[in-house]
Chain A
């Protein structure tokens, strides 16, 4: 590093000595190489995954549910008409605190168990059709959450699960589809289908975002949205507390009330949300809503993402329906 800095300062030395006609070209080259080297070094710098997280109370109750009436709505980018029965869906994503409570209860009653560096639970399996690229999901124990991943915000001391301070009201992330499925089942619910999810996000009109037609930085937590939780120079985007974008001002940061027509928060951005459909001929599970790591185009209500059900990420969470 010392060499790099000294080569960066070559220009100053050169002017001081006033004898640098030949050296100037070499100096330029050196500076370019030094700049490139510094960029590479900066790119390799370790990220502090536990950097201080600002704490805000959003005032939104993560235990609240919204009732979605039966009826038709515009589904998808090209506004096909679909209909649903009436159902209820959580106002927010499941929080880390809620999931820790679930795991503590489930561990006590034997619904989940520790398996190496993972928490696993039973899943009854899916029908297998042998379609190209399809992988069989057999009945058995599947990973709910990993314990050894540095991005995991739940801590396990061998007996109890607790939440890393500051993340209690953030969405539960680093959870597989099985872990999301297990949580909803244990709470008398299920994961919403894609159609249910989209209706809850969009209402009955043709809006592309839960709050309307256009997106501003104050509407949602997305890539480079300049929210108080991100630092694009180091750790990048991080989750925001559930219900954060409710029109409140947090310190100097003013949010826009971005609830969906049915009063749901975070239906665009923050974390991708697992949905419940199991489609014939494919093992992938679909995710909706975009996340803190995606551009605004992925926050449009009809955008689909998918992953294997064992996938987990700091940008994936869920909510339940019933």
Chain B
């Protein structure tokens, strides 16, 4: 009994344990449900999985199923970010505990009962529990905003090397707070139409209605919701990575006000799509996205410079190559910001290119081609977010030496190969016709499947290792139980 109690305390009572559980849950869902589409479907694996697991797949409910699947995974990611930031930032123990309990119960209910409802027949009690899960996560978000309240003097900046106001308000905390508050408000933009449509199945995927000149306020609300939620997850993760790396100094002082401003304007633009401001909403969104991305760029500049400088401190006059080698010497710390840069090729760059050439190029193609770009670029962003989390998690595990190098570079190599191939796949019509595309498509699919497949294998190896570790009386878990992320922030 004590055996189970100890492990439960670790898995559900410590930051690293909670993160491990959430990653394992996402990994399992991704592995199983990833077999229902794409090449796996072509090879007939989908049919085997459906029969083996007894799934009830109704054709007209595909869009509803997918939306529940997205929410199941997204809520677990939101939970991971919440564990990270409650482990990194100062807050009252009561809030920390309450937020974690609410969000843990919330995402597990959402995932287990949401997927149960969507894929295994329609047990309406399951649907109720799925909604309850989402509701608990919402309440956890509200509570988190209270916990983060940056105007509490206890949380004022004491170190002047971090961004702060004249009064001493910690601007990084304000940025976290802003992201949390806007996330909670933006969640409502999905919740309201979700309630309006009833049970979640009489619904639509945004990419399927994108070209219709007239959309209802509810449709705009959902389109805004899905865009901003992913953007906010990315913003929150950028802040978390900055805290983990101990982002500070002049770049921090410029970046934090930009992040706050960008986050607010970005949200106002997205919320504006359901108001008469809709015609100019996109312009507001661009205005908001720019400072947010600049803030991320400043984190990149600061961190790369730090790695290069600290890594060559022992050398009197380091060469450029020595600095470069020092910069990339730790893939787990270099990787997250590299992925943020890489994101510009796979997501932001594609999005801006599409916006600029929309009528000239993309809207000349059939809607199904445009759908590939739309779904491709946000799948790429989601994957990038996942890899950044995995890299931070690798550091939390305390990976060292060759294992650390192998783990970090494998994540970077496999994911970037896959995402580069996805980007070429999205844009293939620019340079190849439909009739000639098959060999290229095959090559790209091999690259995508290889990259993502190896990433999942790597994750599976880590999960099996952690599972085996749990059976050891003095395993790594027993050390992690006592550690808090704030103790492991870079010096």
Contacts and interface: CB of A to CB of B under 8 A. Distances in A.
B434 A315 contact: yes
B60 interface: yes
Contacts of A305: 366-368
Contact of B434 (A78, A79, A213, A314): A314
A223 B42 contact: yes
B59 interface: yes
Main secondary structure of the interface of B (DSSP, over half): helix
B208 interface: yes
A242 to B, nearest CB: 20
Contacts of B359: 133, 135
Interface stretch (A100-108, A155-163, A189-197, A291-299): A291-299
Contacts of B435: 47, 49, 150-151, 235, 314
B59 A151 contact: no
B160 interface: no
B227 to A, nearest CB: 18
B464 interface: no
A237 B440 CA distance: 14
Interface stretch (A35-43, A52-60, A61-69, A117-125): A35-43
A281 B213 contact: yes
A42 B444 CA distance: 11
Contact of A307 (B60, B213, B366, B444): B366
A203 to B, nearest CB: 15
B441 interface: yes
B364 interface: yes
B442 interface: yes
A208 B434 contact: no
Contacts of B438: 47, 232-237
Contacts of B59: 208-209, 213-214, 300
A1 interface: no
A281 B433 CA distance: 29
Nearest to B435: A151
B440 to A, nearest CB: 5
B443 A134 contact: no
Contact of A298 (B365, B368, B444): B368
Contacts of A304: 208, 367
Nearest to A310: B364
A196 to B, nearest CB: 20
A284 B367 contact: yes
Given A47-B439, A224-B42, A314-B435, A208 B211 contact: no
A269 to B, nearest CB: 14
Interface string A272-297: 10000000011010010000011111
B41 interface: yes
B62 to A, nearest CB: 6
A174 B57 CA distance: 35
A175 B46 CA distance: 35
Contacts of B60: 77-79, 206, 208, 300, 302
B171 to A, nearest CB: 38
Contacts of B202: 78
- Band of interface residues on A: 35 or more
Interface string B105-127: 00000000000000000000000
A306 B443 CA distance: 28
Given A49-B435, A294-B368, A306 B211 contact: yes
B442 A132 contact: no
Contact of A306 (B366, B433, B442): B366
A86 interface: no
Contact of B439 (A42, A151, A296): A42
A43 B443 contact: yes
A67 B42 CA distance: 36
A307 B365 contact: yes
Interface in A234-249: 234-237
A224 B439 CA distance: 14
Contact of A236 (B41, B214, B441): B441
Contacts of B447: 39
Contacts of B442: 42-43, 232-233
A157 to B, nearest CB: 22
B444 A43 contact: yes
A308 interface: yes
Contacts of B476: none
A81 interface: no
A262 interface: no
A272 B279 CA distance: 33
A272 B367 CA distance: 12
A37 B42 CA distance: 25
Given A132-B213, A208-B60, A43 B365 contact: no
Interface in B58-81: 59-60, 62-63
A16 interface: no
A315 to B, nearest CB: 7
Contacts of A311: 364-366
Contacts of B433: 151
Contacts of B62: 297
A19 interface: no
A70 interface: no
Nearest to A272: B366
A40 B443 CA distance: 7
A39 B367 contact: no
Contacts of B368: 294, 298, 305
A43 B367 contact: no
Contacts of A223: 42
A300 B58 CA distance: 11
A313 B443 contact: no
Residue of B63, B368, B433 contacting most chain A CB atoms (<10 Å):
B368
25 contacts: A39-B443, A39-B447, A42-B442, A43-B439, A43-B444, A44-B439, A44-B440, A49-B436, A77-B63, A78-B60, A132-B279, A213-B59, A223-B42, A233-B442, A234-B439, A235-B438, A295-B41, A297-B62, A300-B59, A300-B60, A305-B368, A306-B211, A307-B367, A308-B363, A308-B364
**Interface pairs A-B: 6 shortest CB-CB:** A43-B443, A236-B438, A208-B59, A307-B366, A224-B42, A151-B435
